[in-house]
């Protein structure tokens, strides 16, 4: 079995990977290179898994000859056809695998191992993109403005939870970004939060007044709960340590139930609502891109389809020749 194949089973064969194949050594070197380029552990693991699946497929398929360093375009087609049609993976997962394979072969070219990248020009057809679910402002108000429980212990939990969800909705944070916040990341004087986003990129996002008040209400409880040297902003009331992403997900469901909300509430929904509601009011897609931490504005543009009616109102109001009236046909 190969040095790395213990991470994942071969795709569809009992054939064992050849540990002497040079490709596995280059895979290890490539992962080291990704670490030097500050790729996150999650991304490196995801990319590594994709390459292991690809290597195992090539080495287990007698038709292909099994050498990843001699990969051809038809090899890619056979691999992705198997994954999409037989294993029923989603196109977005296939695209992620292709991205990993492409970057790996780019690495091999830089190392002088191969001359041509077999993935050049190779594309996977996208599935129709689903519009993000967005709750209206009244539903968010129902969640965040619910009454504080009379029970003391539950009241303390709600004060912390309200601070978390106010901040997510106020600043459009991802779940992982919220969970990763430290005390020093919030500037209470000017209302700014420093966020470590995807690709270890840092951005600063404004924090709304209600979120700042909720955070300040929470801090006395945090100070009572925290264990020594805990830097996390949001912590467990039992352990005094950083709340996990799973714990935050569960708390949102509990709080939604307490508020009488039947809609399936999940943390990313608050991020969707932030983007959609701010876009409806401002029409400033570029600013929203910055606040969400999207690398490409095309990712942000999905929200223009969520509330196109609001965008047309902004357009009508802003453009001197955009005011649309009914055209009266001459009789």
The region that residue 65 occupies, defined by phi over 0 for left and psi between -120 and 50 for alpha, beta otherwise, is left
Q: Which of 39, 47, 218, 303 is catalytic?
A: 303
Q: Which of 15, 154, 198, 203 is catalytic?
A: 198
Q: Which of 174, 242, 251, 277 is catalytic?
A: 174
Answer for the pair 202, 191: CB distance below 8 angstroms, yes or no. no
Is 271 one of the catalytic residues? yes
Q: Which of 194, 210, 221, 268 is catalytic?
A: 268
CB atoms within 10 A of CB 125: 8
Q: Which of 83, 242, 271, 277 is catalytic?
A: 271
283-to-130, 131, 244, 306, 330 alpha-carbon distances in Å: 21, 18, 34, 13, 36
Is 268 one of the catalytic residues? yes
151-to-53, 147, 156, 170 alpha-carbon distances in Å: 52, 12, 9, 27
Dmax of the chain from CA atoms? 85
Is 174 one of the catalytic residues? yes
The counts of H helices and E strands in the chain are 14, 3
305-to-135, 248, 297, 298, 302 alpha-carbon distances in Å: 15, 29, 14, 12, 6
Active site residues: 174, 198, 268, 271, 294, 303
């Amino acid at each position: 079995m190969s040095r790395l194949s213990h991470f994942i089973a071969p795709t569809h064969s009992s054939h064992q990977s050849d540990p002497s194949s040079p490709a596995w050594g280059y895979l290890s070197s490539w992962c080291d290179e990704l670490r030097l380029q500050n790729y996150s552990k999650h991304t490196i693991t995801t990319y590594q898994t994709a390459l292991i699946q690809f290597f195992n497929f090539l080495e287990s398929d007698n038709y292909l000859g099994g050498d990843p360093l001699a990969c051809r375009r038809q090899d890619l087609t056979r691999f992705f056809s198997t994954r999409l049609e037989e294993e029923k993976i989603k196109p977005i997962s296939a695209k992620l695998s292709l991205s990993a394979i492409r970057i790996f072969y780019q690495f091999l070219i830089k190392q002088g191992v191969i001359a041509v990248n077999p993935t050049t020009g190779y594309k996977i057809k996208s599935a129709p993109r689903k519009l993000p679910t967005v709750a209206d402002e009244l539903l968010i108000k129902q969640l965040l403005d619910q009454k504080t429980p009379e029970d003391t212990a539950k009241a303390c939990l709600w004060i912390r939870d309200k601070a978390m969800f106010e901040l997510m909705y106020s600043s459009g944070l991802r779940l992982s970004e919220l969970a990763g916040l430290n005390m020093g990341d919030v500037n209470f004087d000017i209302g700014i939060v420093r966020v470590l986003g995807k690709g270890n990129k840092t951005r600063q996002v404004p924090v709304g007044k209600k979120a700042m008040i909720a955070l300040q209400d929470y801090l006395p409880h945090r100070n009572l709960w925290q264990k020594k040297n805990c830097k996390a902003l949001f912590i467990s009331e039992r352990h005094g340590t950083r709340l996990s992403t799973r714990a935050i997900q569960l708390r949102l469901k509990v709080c939604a139930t307490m508020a009488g909300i039947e809609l399936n509430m999940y943390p990313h929904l608050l991020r969707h609502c932030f983007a959609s509601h701010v876009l409806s009011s401002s029409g400033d897609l570029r600013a929203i891109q910055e606040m969400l931490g999207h690398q490409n504005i095309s990712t942000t543009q999905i929200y223009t389809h969520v509330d196109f009616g609001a965008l047309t109102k902004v357009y009508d109001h802003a453009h001197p020749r955009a005011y649309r009236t009914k055209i009266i046909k001459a009789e």
